[in-house]
Amino acid sequence: MKTIYFTDSEADLEKAAELIKKGKLVAFPTETVYGLGADALNEAAVKNVYKAKGRPCDNPMIVHISHFDDLKLLAEEIPEDASVLADRFWPGPLTMIMNKKPAVPKVTTGGLDTVAVRMPSDKVALKLIEKSGCAIAAPSANLSGKPSPTKWEHASKDLDGRIEGIIRGGDCQVGIESTVLDLTGEIPTILRPGIVTASELSEVLGKPVEMDRSLFAKIELKEPGYGEGSEAEDEDRDGGETEKASGRGPKSPGMKYKHYAPKGQMVIFQGDRAKVDLAVKERRQKAEAEGLRVKVISFDDSREAARDFFKQLRDADDEGAELILAYALEENEVGFSVMNRMLKSAGYNVVQL
Ligand code: TXA
Ligand code: MG
């Protein structure tokens, strides 16, 4: 299929919205990462998102809205906490999970009775949602397993020829995906950390917010399955019911798959800065002496790390890096969220110093 490229002009966004209305797929910018959008209530369209991404069909999607009232069409009941948090963090990089209305198809929620909803702050995203007149289901606009796209060029590289449209918007300023907060249990629980942190959420709610236990465990990651029909196989490889029943599996299905993997081998160095400097230098020299192409990734602060980490991974692939040596971030607040992605990219390959 020929992918149409749009600018972010009003006229082009109208055209892109027309595609969404017709059940087609359009990649669009958000402040976090580019999303691959489809009408969230159109089963056939959502199925095509899984196909285009090569995404396992038990991995639910985030539904994007442009007005708080649209939440009423998706959530069975709007918890008080959701209203309070939306007031403070929407539009913005916070996704909230609530019990779903029957109108939301199970393909959109990966078979779950809950739905994840977010109102992005990116102006182009908001306009696209508004003009299309639908809630837009959108996972990150990358092939399953690849780093999330923070530039339209990344989405184009992965999805050109596989989807109907791509909006050429600006670069994503947050750079890591939204914080996913589960509001269906007794205590609000973060399933995926992001730039909106537990302490900020807790402060606004005036009560504790927990981190899902799986965020601290080294999970056996598996290669993503491919599209429809892989469900049975996934259950198999997963240990199926046993894992779920024992509560060991992550609550957010997306967290169990192998993610963000660059082509080269990646190693994270953690600990005393001087020791890390030395170890990285030695490892680099050794690898280069063996003829390997090496890339070093390090950041000055955690916000910069969030914004640039996925881009660095993609650059590493483009440069043909065979070995990637990354400096660990301090695991507090946003640093913890970036480390969550970094550890997965490296397959938990960490040198402690
Ligand atoms: O910033 C973002 O959230 C981006 C932009 C495009 O909005 N979207 C994004 O979507 O990262 P995706 O599909 O790549 O990640 C969605 C995550 C997955 O880990 C998925 O398992 C989880 O949210 N999720 C979605 N619905 C859920 C639900 N009902 N229960 C638990 N986890 C859910
Ligand atoms: Mg993703």
Q: What is the DSSP string of 187-223?
A: S-EEEE--SS-HHHHHHHHTS--EEPGGGGS----BP
Tell me if 134 sits within 8 A of 40, measured CB to CB. Answer: yes
Q: Which residue in 265, 250, 253, 179 sits closest to 219, CA to CA?
A: 250
The whole-angstrom separation of Cα 249 and Cα 297 is: 31
The whole-angstrom separation of Cα 262 and Cα 346 is: 8
Distance from the alpha carbon of residue 254 to the mean position of ligand 2, in angstroms = 8
pLDDT of residue 272: 95
Q: What is the pLDDT of residues 68-112, one digit of tens each?
A: 999 999 999 999 999 999 999 999 999 999 999 999 999 999 999
pLDDT of residue 241: 30
The whole-angstrom separation of Cα 42 and Cα 107 is: 9
The chain-wide mean pLDDT, for the chain, equals 90
The token pair that represents 276 in the structure block: 């890390």
Q: Is the pLDDT of residue 343 over 50?
A: yes
Q: Ligand 1 atom closest to Cα of 194?
A: 1
Q: Is the pLDDT of residue 28 over 70?
A: yes
Distance from the alpha carbon of residue 225 to the mean position of ligand 2, in angstroms = 14
Q: What is the pLDDT of residues 258-314, one digit of tens each?
A: 578 899 999 999 999 999 999 999 999 999 999 999 999 999 999 999 999 999 999
Task: Tell me the pairing of strands 4-6 and 165-167.
Answer: parallel
| Region 145-155 average pLDDT | 96
Q: What is the pLDDT of residues 100-143, one digit of tens each?
A: 999 999 999 999 999 999 999 999 999 999 999 999 999 999 99
Tell me if 144 sits within 8 A of 54, measured CB to CB. Answer: yes
Residues contacting 285, CB < 8 A, separation 6+: none
Measured from the alpha carbon of residue 150, the closest ligand is 1
Query: Of 25-29, 55-59, 90-94, 306-310, where does mean pLDDT reach its minimum?
Result: 55-59
Nearest CA to ligand 1 atom 30: 252
Q: Ligand 1 atom closest to Cα of 177?
A: 1
pLDDT of residue 57: 79
Distance from the alpha carbon of residue 221 to the mean position of ligand 1, in angstroms = 17
Q: Is the pLDDT of residue 255 over 60?
A: no
List ligand 1's pocket residues with C-beta within 6 A: 30, 32-33, 35, 59-62, 93, 95, 97, 109, 112, 114-116, 118, 120, 138-140, 177-178, 180, 191-192, 251-255
The whole-angstrom separation of Cα 203 and Cα 196 is: 12
Q: What is the pLDDT of residues 220-251, one digit of tens each?
A: 555 544 333 333 333 222 223 333 333 444 56
Tell me if 295 sits within 8 A of 289, measured CB to CB. Answer: no
Report phi then psi at 44, rounded to 5: -65, -40
Nearest CA to ligand 1 atom 31: 252
pLDDT of residue 254: 57
Q: Which of 49, 62, 189 to mutate to test the pocket of ligand 1 (most atoms within 8 A of CB)?
A: 62
Tell me if 137 sits within 8 A of 37, measured CB to CB. Answer: yes
Q: Which of 25, 49, 61, 122 to mutate to test the pocket of ligand 1 (most atoms within 8 A of CB)?
A: 61
Task: Tell me what percent of the residues of the chain surpass a pLDDT of 90.
Answer: 83
| Region 47-59 average pLDDT | 90
pLDDT of residue 221: 53
Tell me if 10 sits within 8 A of 22, measured CB to CB. Answer: no
Among positive and negative, which fits the CA dihedral 92, 332, 176, 173? Answer: positive
Distance from the alpha carbon of residue 58 to the mean position of ligand 1, in angstroms = 12
Query: Of 184-193, 196-205, 224-233, 248-257, where does mean pLDDT reach its minimum?
Result: 224-233
